[in-house]
Structure 1
Amino acid sequence: MITESTYKDALYSILKKEQEISLESVHIIDESYRMIIFLQELLSSVKKHVLEHHFIEENEEIEFFRIIKPQILGKLIYYNKVYRIETSCPVSSGKMYYKYFSSELQHLKNEYKEHICNSDFYRYYRSGRTDRDHDFFKLGKINLNTGLNSFIFEVDTQFSTYYDYKVSRIIADELLYNYLIIKINPVDKPDMVLQNSESTKDVFWTESKNAMIELIYALYASGAISNGNIGIRKISLVFQLLFRTQLGDVHHAFHRMKDRAGNRTLFLDQLKSSLEHYMDKDL
């Protein structure tokens, strides 16, 4: 639930939930569905709080509709699109798989060109300007004379300025673009810079794939990379490109580790022991 002290608790709760679900889910379909349910409930809680307590100051209202609500709604739109894309995917690999996700990427680009990039508001938002925030991000300021999309007639004017939805779409499309780029970038064909670089040709992974996956999840769970704001899939892609190896379904492998008998963090414990031994040699 959202506390009355600050709406920013909502944004923190999203990050924590993403980390929790990513560690538990074995497939992106389950992960996205669970995030949809969570974000729907979160948005409803925030809406209830706004309708019951209103905004005390103008700056608070602008911050909510420019930053906080779009982060929640943007993630909700994103995970819903991912769920729809994944559940409609005809195959799990091969040329048809690549063609399917390439088509989705092209559709996203067309949508971006038609509805987002040529708008004055997009340029305003992208430039970081704030001089017209009082027009775009305050309730009761919707101006029909500007020829807004017909979606405006379905907007709840007590909980939307219309432009907060525009920002939400921008956020969702950026997330979806990154997701689709990773989908159509085969991990068994490493980045050409790494592949052809003389300085990295002798860099390769000599431990087991499970050891790499264990390390990836440890780095993710600790928030050691990008302050924890990067997902398992992107971290694993970086490792696969760097070490020229294909990990397959990292989620399934991780869940097998969770259930394995004995030491579940075998590689991490081995790393700790090796480092301590190396330190002792230098004494």
Structure 2
Amino acid sequence: MKHRFFHEAISKINKKEDRLTMKPSKIIEESYSMTLLLKDLLSELKEFVMNSDFENELQEIDFFKNIKPQILGKLIFYNKVYRMEIACPVPNGKLMLQYFSSKLEQLKKTFKEHTVSSDFYRYYRSNRCDLDDRFFRLGNIEFYSGLNSVAFEMDPQFSTYYDYKVSRIISDDLLYQYLLRRLDPDDAEKLGDEVSLEAYSKDIYWTDSKNALIELVYALHATGAVSNGRVGITKLAMIFEMAFRIKLGDLHHSFHRMKDRSGSKTYFLDQLTTNLEKYMHKDLD
């Protein structure tokens, strides 16, 4: 019964999002509408959870790791979008681009200084589950570890604290993608046809070396394959980091080490060419 109720809530959100355009001309109205829906839905979930027991530990973990963060994460996201949009000084032009660029820089700074360096972020991004019993069950909040003050504002009967941290990760992923798209006015009218990176990348990971991905990033930049080369190395690398759940570190230092390689300087790209040609010949057999 609980399982069905939870997933009906997610389905309701998905149906509502399918009707969104996310066009600049409509985003204030749509983000406000989504904020109200998600707030009410979260209240319904809280009442339901507090008035009935979980069927087992796995259901409790699934709720606080996957169900609630999807709803709370999107609530945080749409509320932030609404607040940003109503505070935007002008609807278009250079001043608008400067405004959203500053918001993107703030998000990146927070990510670098606080999020990516946390042990929990690495735990969640690596899709681990060995500590889920500690992170996503009620009554396990460890105040002695030095938690963010938001933990004291949470209802301990409806939060494990770490469900909030997952919600913030989801929210930041969505906001990052939104800001990137908002900064490209040529694609503004196409936003309604796009979906969040989080929805597609949850189970996708980079499985080759970091140097291989850095090599690919520089190759795409050098050939102008992304936005005609107008996207900088750092921004392009961050997109790949978010997509493949990996931290690339000092790009420029790694790139200069590649330049000093003996033999081929483009080992990974050479492999790509060789393997693709083999795959093509295989299809012809």
The TM-score with structure 1 as length reference comes to 0.64
Query: Aligned pair 1:139/2:132, yes or no?
Result: no
How far is the alpha carbon of 1:21 from its aligned partner?
4.5
Q: Deviation per CA, 1:102-130: give whole Å up to 9, x if none.
A: 00000111121233111000000000100
1:156 is paired with a residue whose SS is: coil
- Does the 8 A contact of 1:51 with 1:159 survive in 2? yes
Query: Aligned pair 1:105/2:104, yes or no?
Result: yes
How far is the alpha carbon of 1:3 from its aligned partner?
7.0
Q: Could you say which residue in structure 2 is the equivalent of 1:173?
A: 172
Separation (CA, whole Å) in 1 of partners of 2:27 and 2:49: 32
Q: Which amino acid aligns with 1:19?
A: D
Q: Deviation per CA, 1:229-269: give whole Å up to 9, x if none.
A: 79xxxxxxxxxx8xxxxxxxxxxxxxxxxxxxxxxxxxxxx
Separation (CA, whole Å) in 2 of partners of 1:51 and 1:24: 38
Separation (CA, whole Å) in 2 of partners of 1:23 and 1:114: 30
Query: Aligned pair 1:158/2:157, yes or no?
Result: yes
Distance change (3 Å), C-alpha of 1:24 and 1:115: closer
Separation (CA, whole Å) in 2 of partners of 1:117 and 1:3: 34
Q: Deviation per CA, 1:73-131: give whole Å up to 9, x if none.
A: 00000000000000000011111111000000001111212331110000000001000
Q: Could you say which residue in structure 1 is the equivalent of 2:33?
A: 34
How far is the alpha carbon of 1:150 from its aligned partner?
1.2
Alignment of 1:1-283 (within 5 A): 5-22=4-21, 27-187=26-186
How far is the alpha carbon of 1:63 from its aligned partner?
0.2
Q: Deviation per CA, 1:173-228: give whole Å up to 9, x if none.
A: 0000000001112318xxxxxxxxxxxxxxxxxxxxxxxx8xx89x95xx9x99xx
Separation (CA, whole Å) in 2 of partners of 1:31 and 1:160: 28
Distance change (3 Å), C-alpha of 1:122 and 1:23: closer
- Does the 8 A contact of 2:2 with 2:54 survive in 1? no
- Does the 8 A contact of 1:21 with 1:34 survive in 2? no
- Does the 8 A contact of 2:22 with 2:30 survive in 1? no
Distance change (3 Å), C-alpha of 1:133 and 1:3: closer
- Does the 8 A contact of 1:75 with 1:171 survive in 2? yes
Separation (CA, whole Å) in 1 of partners of 2:50 and 2:19: 30
Structure 1, unaligned runs of 5 or more: 189-212, 231-240, 242-283
- Does the 8 A contact of 2:28 with 2:82 survive in 1? yes
- Does the 8 A contact of 1:25 with 1:31 survive in 2? no
1:5 is paired with a residue whose SS is: helix
2:4 is paired with a residue whose SS is: coil
How far is the alpha carbon of 1:25 from its aligned partner?
10
1:159 is paired with a residue whose SS is: coil
Identity %: 52
1:171 is paired with a residue whose SS is: helix
Separation (CA, whole Å) in 2 of partners of 1:3 and 1:55: 7
How far is the alpha carbon of 1:17 from its aligned partner?
1.0
- Does the 8 A contact of 2:64 with 2:159 survive in 1? yes
How far is the alpha carbon of 1:19 from its aligned partner?
2.0
Distance change (3 Å), C-alpha of 1:118 and 1:23: closer
How far is the alpha carbon of 1:23 from its aligned partner?
9.0
Separation (CA, whole Å) in 2 of partners of 1:151 and 1:94: 37
Separation (CA, whole Å) in 1 of partners of 2:162 and 2:142: 11
Which entry has the higher C-alpha Rg, 1 or 2? Answer: 1
